[in-house]
Structure formats: structure tokens, C-alpha cells
Copies of this chain bind each other. A is one copy, B any other.
Amino acid sequence: MTPARDRVLSTATRLFYAEGIHTVGIDRVIADASVAKATFYHHFKSKEDLVLAYLATEYGRQRTVLSAVPGTGLTRLAATLTKIADLSAGPGFRGCPFLNAATEYPDPATPVRQLVDEYRGWFRTLMFDLLTEAERPGAAEKADLLLLIRDGITIAGGLGDQAAVQAGLRTALAAV
């Protein structure tokens, strides 16, 4: 609702994603967002608070994007995987924000890491549910695999490796 907070969050999202979390300082964020420092600390109690807000927003965005994929069962599953591959191969893609954040926060006890686990758990459940709906045998094992291939696709996409992205997508589609 408040414009200054929104400006901070969208600026932080852009900078954190493009350049990494540790390399982008608060001063940089507030300068790019044209916001006073006191205003920033009025809305966020610390930098980590901003990082968590950034990831929570991304989490919501992902859920929105993937829940908008049409179809049911196998059709929707295939469309979902294709969507992810397309996004990962697109311009400006710099890897999965959650995997990137996990690398920058090596301690698994960190709130950031818990959010990453939550995100991956959500994706695994989504895969499991769609596999179950399609009455696929071994839904649990297949969901684990699709999660791993998703991770691999986002890594490959982030590194500009289009061949691996396509290989991953083909295998994911063949597995379901």
C-alpha cells in the first residue's frame, strides 16, 4: 500500500536477483529506490527482514504463475514443466532466487534457508499432486526427480546453457 515500501521492495528484488544479496548494500537499495534511510528502517527492521520479504514475494509470484497454468493432470504437469524451462531459458534469467539465496546463506538454521526448504517442499507437493491426479505410479519418487530436474534446469538456464535446459525438459516430460 505505501509507495515507499513498494519502491524499496521492488528495487531490492531487482538488485538482489541480478547482483546477489551480500553484494548489494542497504545504501544502494535506498538510493535506487529514492527513499530516506529512516523510511527504510521504518518499514523493515533489518536487512534480513528485507531479504525475507523479497523471497516471500517471489514465493507468492511463483505460486501465482504456476497456478495459472491451464489444464489438469498430465496436460497441466507437462505445461508446468515447459513453462519453467521457457522462463529459465529466457532473457534476464539468473537462476532460481531461492537456490541463489540458499548459496548465500549456508547455515540451514537460517530463516532464509527455511523459506527455501518451504519453497522446494511446495514444488514437490505440486508435482506429487499432479502425478497423483494423473494416476501415475510412483508419484513420490517421480516428484523427487522432477524437483531435482527443476533445480537443474534453473541452474543451467542461469548459466546460459540452453542445451542442458532442453535435455532436462525432455527428460522431465518423458518421466511423466
**In the complex, which of the residues B117, B141, B164, B166 contacts A147, with contact meaning CB atoms closer than 8 Å?**
B164
**In the complex, which of the residues B19, B120, B147, B152 contacts A151, with contact meaning CB atoms closer than 8 Å?**
B152
Interface locus among A61-69, A76-84, A98-106: A98-106
Q: Which 6 residue pairs of A and B lie closest in terms of their CB atoms, listed nearest first?
A: A152-B152, A144-B167, A148-B152, A145-B167, A103-B103, A148-B164
- A74 sits at the interface (CB 8 A): no
Interface locus among A31-39, A47-55, A154-162: A154-162
The secondary structure that dominates the A interface is helix
A selection of 22 A-B contacts at a CB cut-off of 8 Å is: A18-B106, A19-B106, A20-B22, A20-B103, A20-B106, A23-B104, A99-B103, A100-B103, A103-B104, A144-B161, A144-B163, A144-B164, A145-B168, A148-B152, A148-B155, A148-B156, A148-B165, A148-B168, A149-B152, A151-B156, A152-B155, A171-B175
Please give 6 more A-B residue pairs, beta carbons under 8 A apart, in addition to A120-B159, A148-B153, A152-B155.
A20-B104, A100-B103, A144-B164, A145-B168, A149-B149, A149-B152
A15 to chain B, nearest CB (A): 11
Contacts of A104 in B (CB 8 A): 20, 22-23, 103-104
State the CA gap A167–B158 with chains docked (Å).
23
Contacts of A94 in B (CB 8 A): 106
